[in-house]
Amino acid sequence: MLNIQDLSATVADKPILKGLSLTINAGEIHAIMGPNGAGKSTLGYTLGGRPGYEVTSGSVSFNGEDLFALEPYERAAAGLFLGFQYPVEIPGVSFVQFLRESANAQRKVRGEAPLSGGEFLKLAKEKAALLRMDMDMLKRPVNVGFSGGEKKRAEMVQMGILDPKLAILDETDSGLDIDALRICGEGINAIMRKPDKAVLLITHYQRLLDYVKPDFVHVLAGGRIVRTGGAELALELEEQGYEAVAA
Amino acid sequence: MSDLLTLPTRRDEAFRYADIASLETLWPVAMQEIRVAAGQSDSLALVLDGAAADARDLSIVLEDGASFDLHLLNAGSAYGRIAVEVRLGKRSRFHLGAAQIAGGDQTVEVVTEVRHAEPDAVSTQVVRSVLAGHATGTYLGRVAVARGAIGTDGSQSIRAMLLDRTATANARPELEIYADDVKCAHGCAVGELDPQGLFYLAQRGLPPAAAKKLMLQAFIAEAFVGAADEEALTQAALAALEAVL
């Protein structure tokens, strides 16, 4: 599904990713762990196409397409979802309006018919219930006045509605209390653990991985993947720390 | 203001940023006079969204205890100028909500003079401009509080959003106060759309123009809050917005 070959990227002319390679197949859940400043978030943003994140070498194919030939909104329509570490507030625009327009913009690029108001609301209700989020919250302006945990749950509701092929979730577990962590974890499983989908979890901690069991765990340090293993690698990291394991 | 027969020049403060060549084709501009009798309320929504240059001149007199709501959409595809002069009587109330939307080489401007002539009157002005390309959007607004007009409450909230670095926003909120015990506030900001927000919307699948429109919708809507035809004004503004995105 996603094939990253020798990817290097800079932010403000500073090299962050330095020859990172990673292959993710359909049906797999991968976790990337690593110390602060290793380049974890940069990887997510670079794949999403955030302005200011310059690809200096390497290539990424996404379901056979050259990812970097696509604009950010085209990457979304192609099925790439980026769960933000810090979801952005948009005053004056409700989640319902924003998500319906987003979903229909994606459908348009894919040549599908738009969802009617009724169809969309039914879908939104279903996904909000999955994340135990009150539908009234989706009538509020996007992320405005939401707590850290609510923002993350709202990200998962968005993921459910937009139904991507690949979700890159950047520290979805940060800012969550114990119950919200479980709800988000279960939400990720319900939405994304399918044979035709894949997930890349970016996280500092093992705790989310108790709920979303990864098939592969990678350690990112110094802009490249320095070690890959199974779920047990996360436990090893938790016990021994990045320095020992990444050395 | 502009009911003189001589074409003004840019040396005239109220015309400093005007498109004089376009104005010449419209000159002299007829003054539209509005008077609201004591204790009465009235409102007007003025929409300039045609293809030709347009200039309007309003003179509004509010008698004691009168109230007037003025909503302006200055979003035609050529020069647009709206000048408003208001005289407030005792305990009268005036509200202006204006949106200006321009792109290309267009010039749009709202010029106001709000005179608090008597005590205890309230005036509020909310102006939102969205400027793209090489457009120039101007707000020149003076609130003048006469000697003895105590208890005056005047406010100006002026904001402009530049969609391109080549666009220009001029904002000059002015206060001229000759009375004690008055409350006057003005705020003015010129900014750009938050690139983080735009990327967030793009990542959810919205193409750039749709993302910008969504982010600007709330900004523009602030000008029309509480208008009798709020929905129609907002729709007209969004249509104008689409044309410049």
Give per-residue pLDDT as tens, B26-64. Answer: 999 999 999 999 999 999 999 999 999 999 999 999 999
The CB-side HSE value for B28 (13 A sphere, CA atoms) comes to: 9
pLDDT at A235: 87
Mean pLDDT, rounded, of chain B: 95
Is residue B187 in some structural domain?
yes
Rounded CA-CA distance B8/B4 in Å is: 8
Residue in B206, B218, B221 closest to A73 by CB: B206
What is the tens place of the pLDDT at every residue in B222-242? 999 999 999 999 999 999 999
Q: Is B210 on the interface with A (CB under 8 A)?
A: yes
Residue in A48, A73, A99 closest to B207 by CB: A73
Average pLDDT per block of 10 residues along chain A, 247 residues long: 96 94 97 90 95 96 96 96 94 92 94 94 94 92 92 95 96 89 94 97 90 94 92 87 75
Is residue B238 in some structural domain?
no
Edge-first strand listing for the sheet containing A80-83: A80-83, A166-170, A198-203, A29-33, A216-221, A224-229
Compute the nearest-CA separation of B207 from chain A (Å). Answer: 6
pLDDT at A153: 93
A93/B215 touch (CB, cutoff 8 Å), yes or no? yes
Cβ(B68)–Cβ(B93) below 8 Å: yes
Compute the nearest-CA separation of B222 from chain A (Å). Answer: 9
Is residue B98 in some structural domain?
yes
pLDDT at B2: 46
Is residue B226 in some structural domain?
no
Token pair 């949106």: residue: B99
Q: Is B208 on the interface with A (CB under 8 A)?
A: yes
pLDDT at A37: 85
Strands (E), chain B: 31-36, 41-48, 54-62, 67-74, 80-88, 93-102, 107-116, 122-131, 136-145, 153-162, 168-177, 183-191
B197/A106 touch (CB, cutoff 8 Å), yes or no? no
Overall average pLDDT of the B186-201 stretch: 94
Query: What residues 122-181 of chain B have any CB closer than 8 A to a CB of chain A?
Result: none
Is residue B27 in some structural domain?
yes
Mean pLDDT, rounded, of chain A: 93
Is residue B137 very low, low, confident or very high in pLDDT (cuts 50, 70, 90)? very high
Tell me the residue range of the domain where B106 lies. 13-192
Compute the nearest-CA separation of B220 from chain A (Å). Answer: 10
Number of independent structural domains in chain B? 1
pLDDT at B23: 95
Rounded CA-CA distance B200/A229 in Å is: 32
Is residue B168 in some structural domain?
yes
Q: Which residues of A touch B242 (CB under 8 A)?
A: none
The CB-side HSE value for B166 (13 A sphere, CA atoms) comes to: 9
Compute the nearest-CA separation of A91 from chain B (Å). Answer: 7
What is the tens place of the pLDDT at every residue in A193-207? 999 999 999 998 888
Sign of CA dihedral B6, B10, B12, B15: positive
Is residue B93 very low, low, confident or very high in pLDDT (cuts 50, 70, 90)? very high
Cross-strand bridge partners of residue B117: none
What is the tens place of the pLDDT at every residue in A53-66? 999 999 999 999 99
Domains and CATH numbers, chain A: 2-246 (3.40.50.300)
B205/A92 touch (CB, cutoff 8 Å), yes or no? no
pLDDT at B4: 60
Q: Which residues of B touch A73 (CB under 8 A)?
A: 202-203, 205-208, 211
> Which amino acid is located at A27 in the chain?
G
pLDDT at A204: 84
Rounded CA-CA distance B8/A41 in Å is: 58
pLDDT at A112: 94
Rounded CA-CA distance B238/A32 in Å is: 43
